[in-house]
A = this chain, B = another copy of it.
Amino acid sequence: MSEPENNKQNRHKKRMQARKEIVDAGVAKALEERGIVIVYTGDGKGKTTAAMGTVTRALGYGYNVVVGQFIKGVWECGEKNLLSQLPPEQYPLQWFEMGTDFTWETQDFEADKAAAQAVWEKLKAALADDSVYLVVMDELTYALNYKWLDKAEVIEAIHNRPREQSVIITGRGAKPYLLDIADTVTEMKSHKHAFEHGISARKGVEW
């Protein structure tokens, strides 16, 4: 091996050793084993998609998953096509949605609220069920911000859930009371969006 090549190897090795120490130290400190609350918020693409990636992940281990979607009622979406066709005995998934049209199409507060409440009742039951490993509340922030759901009731149900259960909440505009109960919060921050540049939403990528 030439001299510069050797230096490069050594530099790389040093950098990787330093990184290993950091990673190992982190793992050594992270000892608490319990379910977590994740909030995906912000104006960028990837919130619902990350939640659905996690649904796929949890089902991959055969864990019991419950998904409730607020707002995105009657849209076709690829991940639901696939996940709802899986054999339920191997991949136990329940999926609830409002079943109404997009909120800005229906323009009827009471109908939307009733539909959101129906989804919430299913999620509340899941949050009290210790056989459920992962509960996804997709676009929950809208349901709360539109006052379809009672904030205190939602927070209490999440707080009192079984210790091993994880929860994912998605949607723009998550308020501090949601961030406070979360263990992990990622803001999906949009720097660029194809849609704003005249490119239509892509089947199989954006829905």
Q: Are B199's CB and A61's CB within 8 A? A: no
Q: Answer whether A207 and B57 are a contact pair too, CB < 8 Å, given A108-B13, A185-B190, A189-B42.
A: yes
Bitwise interface map of A from 165 to 207 toward B, beta carbon under 8 Å scored 1, else 0: 0100000000000010011111111111111011111111101
Q: Are A195's CB and B46's CB within 8 A? A: no
Q: Are B104's CB and A79's CB within 8 A? A: no
Q: Are A83's CB and B56's CB within 8 A? A: yes
Q: Within 8 Å of chain B (Cβ to Cβ): is A152?
A: no
Residues of B contacting A81 in the complex (Cβ-Cβ under 8 angstroms): 60-61
Q: Within 8 Å of chain B (Cβ to Cβ): is A115?
A: no
Q: Are B91's CB and A82's CB within 8 A? A: yes
- How many identical chains are in the complex? 2
Q: Are B104's CB and A20's CB within 8 A? A: yes
Which of B8, B27, B200 is within 8 Å of A32, CB to CB? B200
Q: Are B53's CB and A80's CB within 8 A? A: no
Q: Within 8 Å of chain B (Cβ to Cβ): is A70?
A: no
Bitwise interface map of A from 76 to 91 toward B, beta carbon under 8 Å scored 1, else 0: 0111111100100001
